Amino acid sequence: MLPLPAFEARYGVRLLTGPAPAAVLPLAYAPSLYLTPAHLALQYGPGERLHFFLEEAESGRTVAQLTVFLSADATTARSPWQAPFGGVQMAPELSKAVLTEFLRVAEAELRGRGIRRFTVRAPAFVYEPAASARLTEVLTRLGYQVPLAELNNHLPLDQEYTARLHPSERRRLLKCERHGLRFEQEPPLLLPLAYEFLRRCREEKGQELSMTLEQLQLLFRALPRQVFLFSVRDAAGEWAALTIAIQVRADVLYNFYPASPLAYNSLSPVVLLNAGLHAFGRASGMRLLDLGTSTLPEGLNHSLLRFKRHLGGVPSLKLTFEKAL
């Protein structure tokens, strides 16, 4: 156990290593999927992994956690290495003072291991607005910079899908329905065919998939209740659009891998695909459909951002922090 300066009597930091160890004490919060042992075990990282758990003595609970991936040469560290987000997840009542000391303990450990730069990719503010504001304030005071500020878009599921649609997208939705297109959930055994479909769609746009087929198959096997394959089929039964969706939290569905061939652009089946995801999330009691960011390696994808706004997407900040240690 590592002591927490100024709070030694109440808190301690348990440091664990390995691919994906579970917290020793019960969690005082529901972790996002990317911070669970099941998902962490699947995440790529070139070097050692450090898992920091902040434990509260009085309640006997884990009140915060942070997983850090080290580079192969152990000079840089990231949280996460590849997942959509990582960073600190914490109990709602955790104070800024305690969070500050927790991060200082983690920084000291990284510094002692020769780490010179630490990067934290936080979730979009809409996931937990109060926690995101608290983390942002603490990291800023600790000297972190923001090298990347992205706009994440989401659809609130307490409203009808069509209520937020731009008139042009509403017309496309009706056109899909007139042409007999339909939304379906597909079985995971179709993943090899789906992967090839996704790959071809990305290739048409000069893009690549970030995961291999084997990685996706592992994801579906490890998390069968959180990962889904959805499609839009045309009147002949052919795929017009596909996506892989992930239930990141009990109240959030993430549209992870949407794709549609250019040949279907006149119908815009992705509008119907999102309608289906909206209905699925709503029927499952979720709060929002996460449409993700619109950032490519070369910069902002303006056409994608415009499309998400036309779907009625609500913007939310997603920040990446960095500090020289």
- The predicted-structure confidence for 231-244, as pLDDT tens digits, reads as follows 999 999 999 999 99
Every domain of the chain and the residues it spans: 2-143, 154-317
The arithmetic mean of pLDDT across residues 47-61, rounded, is 97
What pLDDT sits at residue 35?
A: 97
pLDDT > 80? residue 298: no
What pLDDT sits at residue 295?
A: 79
pLDDT > 70? residue 117: yes
What pLDDT sits at residue 301?
A: 83
Q: What DSSP designation does 27 have?
A: B
Work out the mean pLDDT of the chain and round it to a whole number.
96
Give the whole-number percent of the chain exceeding pLDDT 90: 94
pLDDT > 90? residue 300: no
CATH topology match: 2-143 vs 154-317: yes
pLDDT > 70? residue 297: no
| pLDDT tens, residue by residue, 164-181 | 999 999 999 999 999 999
| pLDDT tens, residue by residue, 25-42 | 999 999 999 999 999 999
- Which of 1.10.10, 3.90.930, 3.40.630, 2.30.30 is the CATH number of 2-143? 3.40.630
CATH class of this structure's domain 154-317: alpha beta
The arithmetic mean of pLDDT across residues 199-224, rounded, is 94
Contacts with 53 (C-beta within 8 Å, 6 or more apart), sequence order: 13, 14, 15, 16, 23, 24, 25, 62, 64, 65
Cis peptide before 80 (omega within 30 of 0): yes
| pLDDT tens, residue by residue, 301-321 | 888 899 999 999 999 999 999
What pLDDT sits at residue 81?
A: 94
What pLDDT sits at residue 207?
A: 87
What pLDDT sits at residue 126?
A: 97
DSSP string, 204-268: HTT---SS-HHHHHHHHHH-TTTEEEEEEE-TTS-EEEEEEEEEEETTEEEE---B--GGGTTT-
What pLDDT sits at residue 32?
A: 97
